[in-house]
Amino acid sequence: MFNFITEDHRQIADAARVVFEDLASADSTRRQTAKLRIDAATIGDALSDLGVFTSDDVSMSCAQVQALIAREAGAACLPFPVLEALAAHSVVVRCPATRDASPLSGVLTVPLMDGEGVPDCRLTAGRITGGVRLVPFAQAATAVLIRATSDSGDVLCGVRLAGNGVGLASRATVEEDYPVHDLRFEHSASEFIVDALQIGESAAAALRRRTSLLAAAEIAGVCRRMVKMTRDYLVARTQFGAPLGTNQALKHALADALVKLEAMNAAVDYAAAASDANATDADSAVCAAKLFSGRGGKEIADSMLQLHGAIGYTMEFPLQLLMRRTYRLQVAHGSPRVEGARLYEAFLAA
Per-residue pLDDT of 167-196, as tens digits, reads: 999 999 888 889 999 999 999 999 888 887
**How far apart are alpha carbons 314 and 340 in whole angstroms?**
34
**How far apart are alpha carbons 188 and 166 in whole angstroms?**
7
User: Is there a single domain that holds both residue 144 and residue 239?
Assistant: no
User: Is there a single domain that holds both residue 13 and residue 122?
Assistant: no
User: Is there a single domain that holds both residue 183 and residue 291?
Assistant: no
Condensed to tens digits (0 to 9), the pLDDT of residues 228-273 reads: 999 999 999 888 888 988 999 999 999 999 999 999 999 999 999 9
Phi, psi dihedral angles at 230 (to 5 degrees) = -70, -40
User: Is there a single domain that holds both residue 165 and residue 190?
Assistant: yes
User: Is there a single domain that holds both residue 207 and residue 340?
Assistant: yes
Show which of 177, 194, 211 is a domain's final residue: 194
Residues 6+ apart with CB under 8 A from 271: 63, 67, 213, 216, 282, 285, 286, 288, 289
Query: Which residue range forms the structural domain that includes residue 23?
Result: 7-93
Condensed to tens digits (0 to 9), the pLDDT of residues 271-290 reads: 999 999 999 999 999 999 99
User: Is there a single domain that holds both residue 163 and residue 38?
Assistant: no
The domain that holds 270 is classified in CATH as 1.20.140.10
Q: What number of residues does the chain have? A: 350
Q: Let me know: does 156 contact 197? Beta carbons within 8 Å.
A: no
Residue 29 domain-assigned (yes or no): yes
Q: Let me know: does 274 contact 2? Beta carbons within 8 Å.
A: yes
User: Is there a single domain that holds both residue 216 and residue 289?
Assistant: yes
* Counts for the chain of helices (H) and strands (E), in that order: 9, 9
pLDDT at 101: 47
Show which of 165, 194, 223 is a domain's final residue: 194
**How far apart are alpha carbons 318 and 312 in whole angstroms?**
8
**How far apart are alpha carbons 161 and 107 in whole angstroms?**
11
Number of folded domains that form the chain: 3
pLDDT of residue 116 exceeding 80, the answer is: no
Condensed to tens digits (0 to 9), the pLDDT of residues 46-92 reads: 998 988 887 777 788 899 999 999 999 999 999 999 999 999 999 88
3-state secondary structure of 94: coil
**pLDDT top residue among 258 and 154:** 258
Show which of 194, 216, 236 is a domain's final residue: 194
**How far apart are alpha carbons 110 and 159 in whole angstroms?**
11
